[in-house]
Amino acid sequence: KKFSLILSGILLFYGALLLSSLIQGNRGGFLVGLDYFWSVSPLVIVVLVFNACRADEGVKWGLLIGSMLDCATGIMQWYMKPGMRITSMHSHTNEFGTILAMTIPFIVYYLVKEENKFFRLVEGCVLCMQIFCLYQTGSRGSVASLAAGSVLAVVVLIFAFRKNFSVKKWIALFVTVGIFAAVCLGGIYVIHEERIGMDKAGGERFMMIESSLRMWEDHKIAGIGLNRWKDNYYGEYRPEKAVEENLAMAHNMPIHFLATAGLIGFAGYSAFFLFVFAGLYKEVKRSKDFYFMMALLTVYFGFFIHGLVDATFVNKVSCRIFFALLGYGIMAETAGIMHKAGADEEQAARL
């Protein structure tokens, strides 16, 4: 049933985007919607791979090696130009930060569960590289999404497993996550104080939101079009004090889809997160791996929170990684339970 909920959320969201374009008669917007929908493909690939074989270790080492190479490139940039906001192999610092915020929870999970001392050392080194690079991206939204995502994950898990753990263990866990969140907030403050001018206030984010709301007020049902935000922002709806050039989206995903796809797109966006959460919560209730579910929920909540201040669904690279991790999260846990059940049946048959 969890798969049907998650699939329903995906289809409702992307279906709403395509429907809004059809209502507008906007061929360009429809093609953009299809392009967004293509970002779901990693989830499909992961599901197919896990159905064919147990790919847990392959995904684990893929994440570790990929993160190591990504961070090594970023550290090289920092070494060559100290003080610059690093991008590694990505198009923007915030894109790199988003990816780090999504992969760090799983690297922490591997580190916690690892029994081999050498591999634990490798995982610890990768995690240190990631934390250093996350700070050097200067992406306040990425750090905030990681901190807030972990806190929300703990809150959900406390509610779901309230009968399984003692109060002392829950307090210890919440204190640990609270300290982590406090450190993240400290990092955000330091990054914030290093900014100057409009950049310190987040650039034109408030103006972009205000402009997007004006777009929606004039196109309430189906929006202005998935492919028309930039033209409208620099055209009829351009704020008087706007100075930044080449902004392509509202830097707030709910507002962006409200402006570009109207109430239809906003409803689809909301349905996506509600249905996916319902599916993940069902997985949490049947899971026996607390820390794995904490990593998965941190990614889920973090991606949603980061979308309030930056690009997530309209950034194809980070969106594809999100769906790949979502597929990995739901399939690895299911495969683990099925594998254990199969082993138990085999042992019983031998007896």
Using the predicted structure, report yes or no on whether residue 15 has a pLDDT greater than 80: yes
What pLDDT shows up at residue 217? 95
CA dist 30 and 39 (Å) reads 15
pTM of the model: 0.89
DSSP 8-state assignment for residue 88: T
**pLDDT tens readout for residues 154-201:** 889 888 887 777 777 778 877 888 888 888 888 888 877 776 666 656
Average pLDDT value for residue range 101-114: 93
Distance (Å, rounded) from C-alpha 123 to C-alpha 319? 24
Q: How far is CA 73 from the centre of its chain?
A: 22
State the greatest distance between any 2 C-alpha atoms of the chain, in Å, as a whole number.
79
Answer yes or no: are the C-beta atoms of 253 and 308 closer than 8 Å: yes
- In this prediction, residue 52 has a pLDDT band, given cuts at 50, 70 and 90, of confident
Share of the chain above pLDDT 70, in %: 92
Q: Where are any strands of DSSP class E within the chain?
A: none
- Whose tokens are 């103006």? That residue is 207
Instruction: Report whether pLDDT(335) > 80.
Output: no
pLDDT given for residue 200 in this prediction: 59
